[in-house]
Amino acid sequence: DLNLKDVGFQFTGLSRVQSKSGGQILILFLMAALAIFLVLSAQYESYITSIAIVITVPITLLGSFILLQARSMDINIFSQIGLLMLIGLAAKNSILVVEAADQRVSQGVEIIQAAAEAGRERLQPILMTSVASLAGFFPLVIAQSAGANAQQSIGTVVFGGLVMGTILSLLVVPPVYVIIKNLERKFFS
């Protein structure tokens, strides 16, 4: 006689690690975003400027989720690591645009013109670094060797996020910068 009350299960190995870390990604993501926000606030001596940079990071993650969905992949421990890594990579492009715009504003250029000039000036560096990063992560996206699932998870998340982040850096950051800087002048000056 088999009594089902005496039967149990237990995860081992990678499954155990994944099941234990499942709910921690949101906390880690928020802590990483907060850390980046605080470091940028200290660097630029402005919470407002930091908001212009960090606001694009969550939108960048959309590219990761779209590519994961397109490849019918789930969110696992490896894709979570890729999401954390993507926070810094996404902020990098925004920093380039915002810093150039801030320099122009401090020289007396109007906010809209400064944002437009910064976008044009930083186009080449953003594209060069993004294309180089995408070329570096693409082999992970198509990996077929041992550990391919882990490599594909990280590569898919970072590749999709970088594509979306590059587009957002060039199209979204300048208008967001203009809006945030105008709000700062209106309410805090």
Backbone angle region of 13, left / alpha / beta, with phi > 0 → left and psi within -120 to 50 → alpha: left
Q: What is the pLDDT of residue 8?
A: 74
Residue among 74, 176, 158, 41 nearest 118 (CA)? 176
pLDDT in tens, 21-53: 666 777 878 888 888 889 989 988 888 888 888
* Segments of the chain scoring below 50 in pLDDT: none
pLDDT in tens, 109-128: 999 999 999 999 999 999 99
Please report, for residues 74, 119, 170, 172, the alpha-carbon distance to residue 178 in angstroms, rounded to integers and kept in the order given.
Answer: 37, 12, 13, 10
Q: What is the pTM of this model?
A: 0.80
